[in-house]
Amino acid sequence: MRSMIDRRQFVRAVGLGALAAADMGVVGKQAAAAARPEVKADKSKLTRLFPGCCAYSYDKDLRHGPMTLEEFIRKAVDLRLVGIDMTVYYLKSTDPEYLYSLRHLAYKHSLAFSGAACGVSMVQPDAAKRADSLNQIKAWVDVTDQLGASHLRIFAGTLPQGSSLQEAVDWVVESMKAACDYSGKKGITLGVEDHEGVTQSADLCVEIMQRVNSPYAGVNLDITNFIPTPTQDAYAQIAKCIPYATNIHIRDHFYDHTLVDMERVWKIFAEAGHQGFVSAEYEASYPGSLPPASGVPKLIDEIQSLCKKYSSV
């Protein structure tokens, strides 16, 4: 006949066993932790890179058919993208009803608008024309707001004949300050693209950023547009501008058709702790380049792989 154990003795025995097991668990965890080197996350270097695509990648199809922006949104879903840049050249209209329909379609597919992009130039010698450019930028800020995006790409522009580079930079700073005052009230950042013309060197891009001095100003960093100098190749200029970068646009070749060292570029992003969208802006502009139907997916596959490889999370 089995002997009966007093209930209090049973509870005491079980409780002591549990405590002993818990202590062993703590000791085990402490031993395991001691065996591992301590790794502290450097939050200042947290890198978050998200693959995207600019509508400009399908420029001909969007300008002349058969693609619409609605189809571009669905294409982005098929390509497993996180976000897309809505280049405004391809909007059917700026009526709120149409803009809201695009915004809703993207939402239904869990796709972000990483930004919008307009082609307004701020380099205008005539004060009245500069004022008109500023008004156009403000109008595109409103469109960006209605799309539900938080970023708008703008241009400085090419140097007008008879004007000095310093004059042009002064005009850009003047216009961008006023534009950022307006966009900031809507929470929208303006990214001036390093592009053919005034902003084709990193030094001038940085000067503009420092003089505009607004939390709503940045560089829409197109990695392939810099002109190498005796002291700075394209990669050095990318590195110089990355602290000011808003959106990043990626092609697989530089303006002279030489291939981009993509690993090297992503290492620059990671070393700077960049956080944001890295968007394909495909351009079949050199001999032997693939058509967008196959060239865009190929470029996006590489972007997705590198974003995954170099993101901290």
> Is 52 a residue whose pLDDT tops 90?
yes
Q: Which of 10-19, 196-205, 240-249 has the highest mean pLDDT?
A: 240-249
Pick the CATH number of 47-310 from 3.20.20.150, 3.40.50.2300, 3.40.50.300, 1.20.1260.10: 3.20.20.150
Rounded CA separation 304/87 (Å): 21
> Is 116 a residue whose pLDDT tops 80?
yes
170-174: average pLDDT: 96
Band the pLDDT of 10: cuts 50, 70, 90.
very low
| pTM of this structure | 0.84
Strands (E), 94-252: 112-121, 151-155, 189-193, 217-222, 245-250
* Per-residue model confidence (pLDDT) at position 15: 43
151-178: average pLDDT: 95
- 256 vs 68, which has greater pLDDT? 68
> How does the average pLDDT of the chain come out, rounded?
88
Kindly provide the b/e burial profile for residues 253-268, where b requires at least 16 CB atoms within 10 angstroms of the residue's own CB. ebbeeeebebeebbbb
Residue 117 three-state SS? strand
Cβ atoms 215, 187 nearer than 8 A: no
Question: Of all residues in the chain, what percent carry a pLDDT higher than 90?
Answer: 78
Band the pLDDT of 44: cuts 50, 70, 90.
low
Q: Hey, where are the domains in the chain?
A: 1-36, 47-310
* Per-residue model confidence (pLDDT) at position 210: 98
84-95: average pLDDT: 97
Rounded CA separation 58/149 (Å): 20
